[in-house]
Amino acid sequence: MSDENQSKCRAVCLISGGGTNLQAIIDNIKDKSLKIDLISVISDNPAAKGLQRAEKEGIDATIFDFSSFEDRKQFDQCLEKEMVELDPDLIILAGYMKILNSSFCNSFAGKILNIHPSLLPKYKGLNTHQRVIDNQERLHGASVHFVTSELDDGPVIIQYQCNIENNDDRHTLQKKVQQGEYIIYTKAIQWFSEKRLSIESGRIYIDGAPLNEPKVIKHD
Ligand code: GRF
């Protein structure tokens, strides 16, 4: 680790797929708009394209191939053990498709962030873009939240909002929402790394003040 990195927030990123959020984080670290030390990228999926993105930048990339473990319990224990050894300040879930168990969430309480492609608490789970279209919603977006052991739960820090136009389909919506994801995730990670963002007793604080509503950035 270089001297420059010594006081930086040490982050680990968990991924399962394409890793475009990971790429945005890497790009922002490179252009210095995000001042964190990304010490490791871990994937449960050996085919995750995000692994190549990490390797290309010389970031330690580790595979915990889910299919090679005896059962879910063994996988969970190994992942938690690895994380305890890495001892990061922050765990960034970026398209990580496994639900973290309560032991993991408790061990790293207040240190895990996730990004979800909907305006939480609406549309937890999968296929959010199609579901908002099917329900004729007019507004959609993405949310960054602290992670608890409940799926896509946990207090929301910041949201990106965009209108759903008549000609939008799930592909155009995904593209629109992901552009916003890169912006709000970087903001939340940077706040956390500067110790401006925290969670205490389930309540979010930004710059020492409780956050009653998520911050919102609107698509222009
Ligand atoms: C994003 O849409 C994110 O909101 C969700 O998973 C997707 C990951 O995409 N949690 P990518 O792997 O970062 O491209």
| Rounded Cα distance, 159 and 29, in Å | 21
The tokens of 58 are what? Answer: 């010389």
Average confidence score pLDDT of the chain = 95
pLDDT band for position 6 (cuts 50, 70, 90): low
Q: Give the per-residue pLDDT at 113.
A: 98
| Rounded Cα distance, 39 and 9, in Å | 10
- Among 27, 112, 115, residue to substitute to test ligand 1 (most atoms within 8 Å of Cβ): 115
Residue nearest to ligand 1 atom 2, measured at CA? 117
Mean pLDDT of 94-103: 96
Strand partners for 116: 143
For residue range 110-163, what is the model confidence (pLDDT) as tens digits? Answer: 999 999 999 999 999 999 999 999 999 999 999 999 998 887 889 999 999 999
Q: Give the per-residue pLDDT at 220.
A: 75
φ/ψ bin of 127: left (φ > 0), alpha (ψ from -120 to 50), beta (otherwise): left
The residues that are catalytic are 116
Mean pLDDT of 48-55: 98
Mean pLDDT of 72-81: 97
Q: Give the per-residue pLDDT at 139.
A: 98
Residue 164 has pLDDT above 70, yes or no: yes
| Rounded Cα distance, 106 and 121, in Å | 22
Q: Give the per-residue pLDDT at 149.
A: 83
Residue 211 has pLDDT above 60, yes or no: yes
For residue 66, report the distance from its CA to the centre of ligand 1, in Å.
19
Positive or negative: CA dihedral 194, 153, 92, 19: negative
Mean pLDDT of 162-182: 97
Residue 1 has pLDDT above 90, yes or no: no
Mean pLDDT of 12-27: 98
**How many CB atoms are located within 10 Å of the residue 161 CB?**
16
Domains of the chain: 1-108 (3.40.50.170), 116-220 (3.40.50.170)
Q: What percent of the chain has pLDDT over 90?
A: 93
The tokens of 72 are what? Answer: 């879910």
